[in-house]
Structure 1
Amino acid sequence: VVFGILAYRNIRQIAYRTVPIVRRELDTQLTTMIFIQVLINFLTNVPSVTMSVILNATTYINNAAVLEILQFINTITLMIFYTYFGSSFYIYMCVSERFRRQFVYVMTKIYFKRWQQQLAVNNQVVPT
């Protein structure tokens, strides 16, 4: 929440600063990424915490149907909670052009070349 407030404040102040355009674009990208990350954090963690509180408050319920429904909802909220841990990658890929370029460079230039070298080594004929 603190970083979300700071990101919002930063977006409001960017227009009043005299900085190079590239720096301003990078600041805007970073601020947008942080703002979206805070939003995703809120949307994925609040249902899980709420469901945990509800499950702890209803420990004395003996109705099996209600308990099954609560467990099903808990499973869904936990799946939503676990998406938080992979969301940073997708946020950065969608928001930051610099991150996308770096990702494509690493995947094509570094890993693809390494994979090609391994294929060449494995394709050698061994004399008998």
Structure 2
Amino acid sequence: MSPITGVCIYTTDAFYVYTVFFLGIILSGIPILITMTFGILAYRNIRKTIILTRLRIDRQLTMIIFIQVLLTLIGLSPYVIYNAYAIITMNNEKSADRKAKEALASNITYLFGSVAYAGRFYLFMFSSPRFRRTVKDQILWWRRPQRIVPLAR
């Protein structure tokens, strides 16, 4: 633990690069690419479906896909940018003030990353009555109505 910032530090540069690569590319970069790719493909597929267009369901699905892609970009992009910055400035001499500012920036970008994942839950909670009912049933599992079956004579 660093006595200056009070956060854990890496003892070797190789482990630091591996950790930043793993967090920046694997946990942030790949989800952004996958979400954007499948969002675009789903949008194209929804536009081709005539039944959904007639029922005007295509607008709701398009809006949900767009918000998911936007949440992923807003939530994970700062984290990827910060990790790239951390790798680039890894060998620079840093003052205690700069290390504290970087620790704050790291925590803020981590908070934005959690928005990307938690935001999807709230997106579905606000947009889908079926999802709300399912969540309510799962949380209130002990209050499920009991079925009474009459005896056959």
2:89 alignment partner in structure 1: 58
**Structure 2 letter corresponding to 1:17:** I
**Equivalent of 1:9 in 44, 47, 62:** 44
More moved, 82-91 vs 44-53: 82-91
Alpha-carbon shift at residue 10 of structure 1 (Å):
4.6
Would you say 1:39 and 2:74 are equivalent positions?
no
TM-score by length of 2: 0.57
Alpha-carbon shift at residue 58 of structure 1 (Å):
1.2
**Equivalent of 1:113 in 143, 146, 150:** 143
1:96 alignment partner in structure 2: 128
Distance 2:88 2:53 in 1: 55
Alpha-carbon shift at residue 62 of structure 1 (Å):
2.4
Can you list the C-alpha shifts for 1:75-115, whole angstroms capped at 9, x where unaligned?
Answer: 111111122222221010112233223334x158x52426x
Residue ranges of structure 1 left out of the alignment (5+ in a row): 118-128
Alpha-carbon shift at residue 74 of structure 1 (Å):
0.9
Distance 2:117 2:53 in 1: 34
CA RMSD, Structure 1 to Structure 2 (Å)? 3.0
- 1:7 touches 1:35 (CA, 8 Å); kept in 2? no
1:125 alignment partner in structure 2: none
Distance 2:93 2:40 in 1: 40
Instruction: Return the structure number with greater helix share.
Output: 1
**Structure 2 letter corresponding to 1:102:** T
Q: How many residues align?
A: 110
TM-score by length of 1: 0.66
| Shift in CA distance, 28/100, structure 1 to aligned 2, threshold 3 Å | farther
- 1:48 touches 1:78 (CA, 8 Å); kept in 2? yes
